[in-house]
Amino acid sequence: MRGPIPPYLAGYVDRIESYQQEWMLDTYLLITGERAVTDRSIHERYRELNDGRLFHEALERGDRSYARALANAYFAAAPALAEAGDRLRAVQPELVARVDGESLGIPQLRLRAKSEPDAAKRAALEHQALALIERRGALERAWVETHADVSRSLGFARHADLIQALDGDVAPWLRHAERWLERTRTDFLSRWRGWRERDQVSTGPFIPYLGREPSVANGSADMPTSVRATATAWGFGEQARRIPIDVVPRPGKSPLSLCARIAPPRDVRVTTHASTDPLNYGILLHEFGHALHFSMGPDRPFDLYGDHQAITESFGMTFMFVATQADWYDRFLGVPIGADDLERVRFLVDASRRLDALHVLYEHAVHTGSPDPAEEFRRLYRREFEAEVSPHLAYFRMQLFLEARPFYPLYLHQANSMRSALWTELCSVGGRRWCLGDRGRAHLVERFRKTCEVDLPEWLKLIGSALPLEP
């Protein structure tokens, strides 16, 4: 973080910056599919930063910001977890089924099933996808169980105890997520039933989906072009030109999009997948928004060390919300988006927020010792989406989240809850259509820089929020 460095860390700053650069580059190359296995030698070279001793010193001093960063290093350096991750990545290319002479992975099988009018053929495609999900799910569960072992090796009997050490009492946020889900449930389920009837789809055994994905209109600018144009209009032209956006398809490339802060503010990179789905345009706005943040907030890499993930994600959620605004498509894609497609985007953004809140409750239940995680997973999906999902999906999102942070759904829920405050701020300085021009630039830069100086409680006061006590 920017400002006075505590004495116990002062002698490690240069090493921390070097470690972060090597580690984040390795992560980026794994996600893009340019590297198949983790370079474990990186973590071996920096044992004094990831062996747990500095982590415990930070905790003893009540320094949660640096404790969170040091905990991430401990998990990343754990050999057993690296091996479990390599096994999971190695099997991804094998998770395919032959259909009419084509090799289709899980996402392709599901897309094919969506558009298949014949009920028997559709069921067969779903059965093939489920068989692959079951195989992948066993490896994801093994990874999650290994993660719990690593948490215990750090001195915490339950992973929930580590979460409390890093984030304090999370019970108010659990109640906030539960109240938000309860307050919005009737309206959401009514809309969800309407979409199922409209698209003639059943909920099925998968995470809920619409029968037709939204699409931008023919002739629209592609994702990188439109997002670079947006950043330029916001007043970040130099960053829009400089920051790379990887859209190259590769066999081992992760389905995730990512912003990698390798050596901020100079070396920040984004990777994603080319698509005509406007929701994916929104995801790129989210990730490129992170890149703007990491390029404009810090003066040196250490300024971001220990920053709060929920604050970071609140910017991503705010920028992603731009993709729900019709006039953004007119201006930056060059072609209006259809009314039905925009309605789908807005619904899917709401559904994504609901998934994040659901996973706060589900994953915390697992981390506190739920006797039957798969059943808890299915119970919550039944309640919030009226869906009988496969138990083999119970560890999919959890594994992705734990690979990033000890309790990532909490940060996403916090970020979603802060989005309206940030959007209101930007509207107050730039007008309702702030996202079409540069009137919000100075405010964004000031907020980006502030993230390098404060933790979550101070940030909430800064944006005038009463979270998590808000109804």
pLDDT in tens, 303-345: 999 999 999 999 999 999 999 999 999 999 999 999 999 999 9
What strands lie across the sheet with 258-263, from one edge to the other? 245-246, 267-271, 258-263
Residue 411: band (very low, low, confident or very high) from pLDDT cuts 50, 70, 90: very high
Taking 90 as the threshold, does the pLDDT of residue 141 lie above it? yes
**Which of 95 and 67 is assigned the larger pLDDT?**
67
CA distance 326 to 338: 9
Tens of pLDDT along 413-470?
A: 999 999 999 999 999 999 999 999 999 999 999 999 999 999 999 999 999 998 997 6
56's CB contacts (< 8 A; 6+ apart) are 155
Q: Average the pLDDT over 382-394 and give the result.
A: 92
Secondary structure of residue 50 in the 3-state scheme: helix
As a whole number of angstroms, the distance between CA 104 and CA 457 comes to 47
Q: pLDDT, tens digit, for every residue of 106-122?
A: 878 877 887 777 878 88
Tokens of 102: 């084509």
Least confident stretch, 172-181, 381-390, 410-419: 381-390
At residue 208, does pLDDT exceed 80?
A: no
Question: What whole-number distance in Å separates Cα of residue 23 and Cα of residue 77?
Answer: 10
d(CA 258, CA 28): 8
Given this model, what pLDDT does residue 470 score?
65
Low-confidence winner among 17-26, 262-271, 386-395, 417-426 (lowest mean pLDDT): 386-395
Which residue did the predictor score with more confidence, 287 or 104? 287
Percent of the chain whose predicted confidence (pLDDT) is above 90: 84
Which amino acid is located at 352 in the chain? S
What pLDDT was estimated at residue 111? 75
| Statement: residue 17 has pLDDT above 90 | yes
What is the CA angle 399-405-409, rounded to 5?
A: 75
Angstrom distance (rounded) from CA 14 to CA 12: 6
Give the distance, in angstroms, between the CA of residue 75 and the centroid of all CA atoms in the same chain: 18
Given a contact cutoff of 8 angstroms between Cβ atoms, the answer to whether 436 and 328 are in contact is yes
Which of 47-51, 131-135, 166-170, 184-188 has the weakest average pLDDT? 131-135
Lowest-confidence region among 78-87, 172-181, 209-218: 209-218
**Closest CA relative to residue 228, chosen from 313, 291, 321, 277:** 291
Q: What pairing do the DSSP bridges indicate for beta strands 267-271 and 245-246?
A: parallel
Range(s) of the chain covered by CATH 1.10.1370.30: 173-462
d(CA 114, CA 108) in angstroms, rounded, equals: 10
173-462 folds as Neurolysin; domain 3 (1.10.1370)
CB atoms within 10 A of CB 266: 11
Residue 358 has pLDDT above 90, yes or no: yes
Residue 204 has pLDDT above 80, yes or no: no
Residue 189 near residue 386 (C-beta atoms within 8 A)? yes
Amino acid at 334: G
Mean pLDDT, rounded, of the chain: 94
| 3-class DSSP state of 81 | helix
User: Using CA atoms, how far apart are residues 294 and 372, in angstroms rounded to an integer?
Assistant: 40
Residue 211's pLDDT is 78
**Structural tokens at position 191:** 């809309």
CA-wise closest residue to 177 among 377, 402, 384:
384
Q: Give the per-residue pLDDT at 199.
A: 87
**Rounded average pLDDT over 91-113:** 86
Cα dihedral 198, 204, 208, 214 sign: negative
Which residues, in sequence order, are CB contacts of 226 under 8 Å at separation 6+?
220, 281, 332, 333
pLDDT tens per residue across span 235-259: 999 999 999 999 999 888 888 899 9
Whether the predicted pLDDT of 161 surpasses 80: yes
Range 154-173 average pLDDT: 97
In the block, residue with structure tokens 């991804």: 92
